[in-house]
A and B are shown apart, each in its own frame.
Chain A
Amino acid sequence: MKKLIILFFAIALLPGCSDDWGWYVVNPYNKSGLINVKFLLSGYYFTLLLSFTSILISVVVGLLVALPGLSKNPWLRNFNRVYVEVVRSVPILVLILWVYYGLPPITGLDVTVFWAGVIALALSDSAFQAEIFRGGIQSIDKGQYEASHSVSLNYRDTMRFVILPQAIRRILPALGNQLVYMLKMSSLVSIIGMQELTRKANELVVTEYRPLEIYTVLVLEYLILILVVSAGVRWLERRLQSDERA
């Protein structure tokens, strides 16, 4: 609610300011301002595409890394620990640079800006997802495994039909937080030239010399995005919970 009030005042300020402040650069009521606003808004496309692609991949990878972490086999558990610790200790920005500039010569693959961003973001996030999944799965009562065993379910079916559906309901708030985090971290991919929100703002600042106004719009763009996504996550949570009660 507090966020909404701040947002309201921030938006009210925009047309209220005089031309001295330079709001004309992003004033949709004049022609060049409208072009600029459209340019800034077009950054949403790659911010969203990048973030959602990355989170989908990181959820899958995170789960695949979490499962060996729950194994009785110490080698598998060690794999999990090493993966999580190593990936977590590299800053995302460094990972982005490394994937973009380092991966092509090593692998011989042609890594586009978009996929370099996706790989780096997904890799970084997968370590957190792995920890979230591990915690979620560990929180499920062992009686659930025993009951599955007693009706002859194998490991895969036990996970798929009994453990994961319950674990995912529990970790949904954490997954929502990761999505918000991912949307914000995607701004770092601007450094290798990804045309997302932050990059668009940077480019406009270079041509218009109006950093205050343009970056204020950028802040608002992220604010609106995060508020909408958070509301969506909460809606989904409520729906899943009422499913269980219904």
Chain B
Amino acid sequence: MAQAVINEDIQIKNVFKRFGDFEALKDVSLSVNAGERVVICGPSGSGKSTLIRCINGLERHESGSIIVDGITLAERGASLQQIRSRVGMVFQQFNLFPHLTVLDNITLGPIRSKNLSREQANKLAMTYLERVKIPEQAQKYPRQLSGGQQQRVAIARSLCMEPKILLFDEPTSALDPEMISEVLDVMIGLAETGMTMICVTHEMGFARRVADKMVFMDEGKIVEMAPPSKFFDSPNTDRCKNFLKQILQH
């Protein structure tokens, strides 16, 4: 039993989440092993964002339990702080800090919350900017970059915190089509390093390539969960079949 806990990076059990009267998550359970890549898909409004936002405490679940890297996500206090520093997040709208240079965007977290010196942080930031292939943009401001470049900066910003787990919430949905692949390439590179990843995305080519586990959500529930081969070739439910048909059409 004890061993199972160590191997599981994320353990979500019977989680409910409500917004007012509306139930956004209904009895969701999901476990993710260390180094595992999970892709979550499903129609808009099905609770995908809410689920991954519960994992880093951006939303508070009402009941059930979420354990991240052995730490139980409790209502308040130290556990949230501990979990945040282990879990990075990449947003659909990038959410870069517009008044800071690319370099300062990336180093702010490490300097303030991990007490790195500016020098150490800059060095670390440059390694990650190289990883996302835009070291030459370090001194620019976000607005001077293309969408694809901005999202890669956001990924570097998350990586610079050296998290165990990275969450992606539709990282390519706000991008022009020609910029999607540059971001996906970076994510594939990350997957190859053995990082634990949960990606909400509708990029099925990417999913097939990197996912260890596919999750399909609808109306606040996990409807289908399977390895990609099974998931794409013979989904169990009609809802999932129809969804995949729609997605794969364009």
Which residues of chain A have C-beta atoms less than 8 A from B198's C-beta?
Answer: none
Contact of A153 with B98 at beta-carbon distance under 8 Å, contacts A245-B143, A246-B141 already known: no
In contact, B99 and A169 (Cβ under 8 angstroms)? yes
Contact of A152 with B99 at beta-carbon distance under 8 Å, contacts A244-B141, A246-B141 already known: no
In contact, A149 and B58 (Cβ under 8 angstroms)? yes
Residue of B nearest to A246 (CB): B141
A110 at interface by CB-CB < 8 Å: no
Residue of A nearest to B141 (CB): A244
In contact, A152 and B91 (Cβ under 8 angstroms)? no
Within 8 A of B (CB), among A135-184: 141, 143-144, 146-147, 149-154, 157, 161-162, 165-166, 169
A-B contact count (CB 8 A): 68
B42 at interface by CB-CB < 8 Å: no
In contact, B91 and A153 (Cβ under 8 angstroms)? no
What is the number of residues of chain A that contact chain B, defined by CB distance less than 8 Å?
20
Contact of A151 with B157 at beta-carbon distance under 8 Å, contacts A165-B99, A245-B143, A246-B141 already known: yes
B93 at interface by CB-CB < 8 Å: yes
In contact, A147 and B113 (Cβ under 8 angstroms)? no
B85 at interface by CB-CB < 8 Å: yes
Contact of A146 with B161 at beta-carbon distance under 8 Å, contacts A152-B84, A161-B112, A246-B141 already known: no
| CB < 8 Å neighbour of A151 from B141, B143, B161 | B161
Residue of B nearest to A152 (CB): B113
| CB < 8 Å neighbour of A147 from B57, B81, B87, B97 | B97
In contact, B113 and A146 (Cβ under 8 angstroms)? no
Residue of B nearest to A169 (CB): B99
- The docked-state distance in angstroms from the alpha carbon of A160 to that of B43 is 38
In contact, B81 and A152 (Cβ under 8 angstroms)? yes
Which residues of chain B have C-beta atoms less than 8 A from A157's C-beta?
Answer: 112-113
In contact, B158 and A150 (Cβ under 8 angstroms)? yes
- The docked-state distance in angstroms from the alpha carbon of A152 to that of B161 is 9
| CB < 8 Å neighbour of B95 from A146, A153, A165 | A146
B-facing mask of A211-246, CB < 8 A → 1, else 0? 000000000000000000000000000000000111
- The docked-state distance in angstroms from the alpha carbon of A144 to that of B96 is 7
In contact, A151 and B108 (Cβ under 8 angstroms)? yes
In contact, B158 and A166 (Cβ under 8 angstroms)? no
A-facing mask of B71-102, CB < 8 A → 1, else 0? 00000000001001101110101011111000
Interface centre among B56, B85, B109, B110, by most chain A C-beta atoms within 10 angstroms, is B109
Which residues of chain A have C-beta atoms less than 8 A from B57's C-beta?
Answer: 149
Interface centre among A150, A157, A169, by most chain B C-beta atoms within 10 angstroms, is A150
What's the least CB distance linking B10 to chain A, in Å?
A: 16
What's the least CB distance linking A243 to chain B, in Å?
A: 8
In contact, B84 and A150 (Cβ under 8 angstroms)? yes
Which residues of chain A have C-beta atoms less than 8 A from B88's C-beta?
Answer: 150-151
- The docked-state distance in angstroms from the alpha carbon of A165 to that of B109 is 16
Residue of A nearest to B101 (CB): A246
Pairs across A and B, CB under 8 Å, 30 listed: A146-B89, A146-B95, A147-B91, A147-B95, A147-B96, A147-B154, A149-B56, A149-B84, A150-B58, A150-B84, A150-B88, A150-B89, A151-B109, A151-B110, A151-B158, A152-B84, A152-B85, A152-B112, A153-B112, A153-B113, A154-B112, A154-B113, A161-B108, A162-B97, A162-B108, A165-B99, A169-B99, A244-B99, A245-B141, A245-B143
- Beyond known contacts A147-B91, A154-B81, A244-B98: 12 more, CB 8 A cutoff: A146-B89, A147-B157, A149-B58, A150-B89, A151-B113, A151-B157, A152-B85, A152-B109, A157-B113, A162-B108, A169-B99, A244-B143
Measuring CB to CB, which residues of chain B are less than 8 angstroms from any residue of chain A? Answer: 56-58, 81, 84-85, 87-89, 91, 93, 95-99, 108-110, 112-114, 141, 143, 154, 157-158, 161
